[in-house]
Amino acid sequence: MDVVLAPDIYVNASVALGSPPERVVQRAFRGAGKPKTSAWVMERVQSMLHALPEFKDDAVEQQMKTIRGLVEIVEKGDHFIEDWREALVALAKSAGVGRVLTDHPDLLGSTRADGIEFVSSEHWLAEQATPPPPPVV
């Protein structure tokens, strides 16, 4: 997979079945190899799920166990909770990709940071469904 997923994608996929984030996650987990993530992303996902009233502690732990079994942690940098841009750029670079999928409005407002592009789940899904252009003759 040529992208990494931001915490909001994992959380939205966990609570909104059939949504673009959930379809992105399903596609990511179906590919060859495990999607790459970071300890920072996993901590944010767990924290965000704990904040949702519909997710009891046992459900959060089960969801985190499921996610951990499906991903490869490749970046362990020390970033503060609010350092979304910096943490996700570091993850993308560690994973060797140039794009981060997120629906976080602050990140989508600026499309690039240090050479890394932030793309919405809906935009990425549309890209995946669009056939490549015909060859130039």
Region 38-65: what's the mean pLDDT?
94
Give the pLDDT score at 111: 67
Domain boundaries in the chain?
A: 4-127
Helix (H) or strand (E) holding 63: helix 57-70
The pLDDT, as a whole number, for residue 76 is 83
Dihedral class, residue 57 (left if φ above 0, else alpha if ψ from -120 to 50, else beta) = alpha
pLDDT in tens, 57-93: 999 999 999 999 999 999 887 899 999 999 999 999 9
Mean pLDDT over 6-23 rounds to: 93
Of 1.20.1250.20, 3.90.650.10, 3.40.50.1010, 3.40.50.620, which CATH number belongs to 4-127? 3.40.50.1010
d(CA 106, CA 8): 12
pLDDT for 90-109, tens place per residue? Answer: 999 999 999 999 999 989 87
pLDDT averaged over every residue in the chain: 91
